[in-house]
Each structure stands twice: as C-alpha cells, then as structure tokens.
Copies of this chain bind each other. A is one copy, B any other.
Amino acid sequence: MRIFSYRHGDTPGVGVVADNESFVALGEAAPDLPKTLRGILEQPSGLERARDAAGAKRALKSLAGIAFDAVIPDPQAIWCLALNYKLHVEETGLTTSSKYPQIFLRMPCTQVGHLQPILCPPPAVATKYEYEGELAVIIGKGGRHIPVERALEHVAGYSCYNEGSVREYQGHNRQFGLGKNFEQSGSFGPWLMTPDEFGDPSKHRVITRVNGIERQNATTDLMVFGVPQLINYLSQGYYLRPGDVIVSGSPGSLPPHPGEKPPANTGGVYVPGMVQMKPGDICEVEISGLGTLRNPVAADAPATYQTSLFTPR
C-alpha cells in the first residue's frame, strides 16, 4: 500500500494510491478513521483499516486535483543521520564515531511534500543550498529499548526524503542547527510504502537527480548504521512514537560529469560532483521500488524584514 497526506484547497486528507492517476480518499471511504496519517498510525490497526477501506475503491479521486503534503506533516520527531555512508564520510573529509550514529534533528515545519517548491535562499544569505537524497523510515508501533532483531516490526513504512541543507549555516558552528532547518528547505514524499511491498530496507537504491542529471546513486546496504541499528539506538533514550521519522543519511556524490566545472562558491566543505540548487531547478530523489519525490526549487523570501510567512511563486 502507498498512503499519503494531501490538501484539497485548505482541507487536509489522507489518501491511498489506487493507480497512476487516482487515489482513494479515506475521509470518505473510511470516515471513522483519524483524519491524519499520524493519527492513523497511532491506532493499533490503523493501517490495516485503511487498507481494507481502500480495497473497495470507493471515493476515487484524481491525483491531479490535490496538493501533496509531507508524508507525515506533524511528526513528533524527525531524527536525521549525518555521515551514515562511508563514501560521504570520505568525500567530506569529516570524522565521525564508528561506534555510535551521528544524530541531529529537523523541525517538521521545514519540510514540504511532493511537487511543492523547496526554497533556495537569496544569494545575500547563502549560495550553497544542496540536496541530500535519503531513505526515510516511518515508525508505526511505538517502542523503547527495541532490540535490533525486532526493530523492523516497528516500521510502518518507507519514503523518500530530500534533506536540503544550507551549507554556510551548517558550518557556522559545531552543531548543524539552522543550516538543516531553513524555511521549507526539505521535502518528504511522495508516499509511505508499507514494508510488505517495500521489502528489506537494505536492498534498495537511492538516486538523486538535478534537472534530470544523476548526482547520487548508491545502494542502501552501504549505510554505516542500518535501519534496525538506528531504531535500536534511538529507542535507548526516547520512546519512538507512531509517525516519527528517521532520515537515514545521504550517500556520497557521483563524480562531476565530463567538462563540468566546480560551482562558483566552493568554500567550507567542497565535494566534487555536488551541485548547488538554484531557483528554476527540479530536484528528484528516487528510491528503487518506491517512487520518485520531485520538487521544483523556488526563490526564498528576499533578505528584508518581513512579518508574515512567505509564499513562494
């Protein structure tokens, strides 16, 4: 099953993909289910009830008529991984513990859904706005001190994540902080695919493209800490909650394509083959067997004092 969050005008909803053009609107097909995907995951058999309701293919709607939201717009935590692929460690020249994963956090309001614009800062603020294509893991059953061998029982499903990063701010000081939490800088979608369809999370491929050109392409077995290890580690300190997201880290870059020159600003950590996203670009993160998260890049608000939330064009 592929299940997702959306908005139809101002009304949020949860849908189940029926085919390439249409989906089942659960608000109509299963009116007694919670109205958010996190709410559905919080119900012990929420996903099964969604699957049953979608099977009848009532309340079919066109995918073209809605706006995708982040798969879980309101998780209680988004745990992100730094330096969790060996090539990415090597290409950045950074060091990381080999014993414990490197964890930082994103705020839910910094992410958008499939096809929504992600925002590139104005040049006066920063020029190194970069993609990170990653496998996102969504928690189903809550748990604490989850053994590695039972970890995948706690997964509701998987999705694609573009963990968009503003490198200048990420490098301002030791903690990544604001550089990983710029306004609408990341994306999460298009949908949650359940484990029965997705299979083993270590047997997939993550591909990132900018304007159709491949920039990352790696298999998920190359993670330093795999999905079960990440779940075990986080649950030592924190009750992993239904709807929580673990963004499992960025693979390395492909080398520059023939004739390509480095970008204008290579300050800080410079990775050959990495390109910087600019307004007008299209960035895609594909995960094999799951689908492709696609976002246009739009210009963020100008660097002038504003007291209302910016709406990108």
Contacts and interface: CB of A to CB of B under 8 A. Distances in A.
18 contacts: A76-B109, A79-B177, A82-B174, A95-B174, A105-B181, A110-B238, A121-B237, A125-B236, A126-B237, A144-B310, A145-B301, A146-B305, A175-B176, A178-B233, A178-B234, A181-B237, A236-B303, A239-B309
A108 B181 contact: no
B306 A145 contact: yes
A204 interface: no
Given A125-B237, A237-B183, A306 B178 contact: no
A307 B178 contact: no
A133 interface: no
A55 to B, nearest CB: 28
Q: Give the interface centre of A102, A103, A110 by most chain B CB atoms within 10 Å.
A: A103
Q: Give the interface centre of A150, A238, A241, A301 by most chain B CB atoms within 10 Å.
A: A238
Interface string A23-46: 000000000000000000000000
Contacts of A102: 173-175, 177
Contact of A107 (B76, B143, B145): B76
Nearest to A166: B237
Nearest to A233: B178
Contacts of A100: 172-173
A77 B172 contact: no
A181 B106 CA distance: 13
Contacts of A303: 145, 236
A96 interface: yes
A257 interface: no
A228 interface: no
Given A100-B172, A109-B241, A237-B166, A144 B305 contact: yes
A272 interface: no
Contacts of A313: none
A97 B181 contact: no
A304 interface: yes
A99 interface: yes
Interface string A273-313: 00000000000000000000000000001011111111000
Given A104-B175, A107-B77, A175-B103, A305 B150 contact: yes
Q: Give the interface centre of A82, A145, A179, A241 by most chain B CB atoms within 10 Å.
A: A145
Contacts of A4: none
A306 to B, nearest CB: 4
A209 interface: no
Interface in A229-243: 233-234, 236-239, 241
B143 A307 contact: yes
A234 B172 CA distance: 12
Given A169-B237, A172-B97, A236-B303, A178 B103 contact: yes
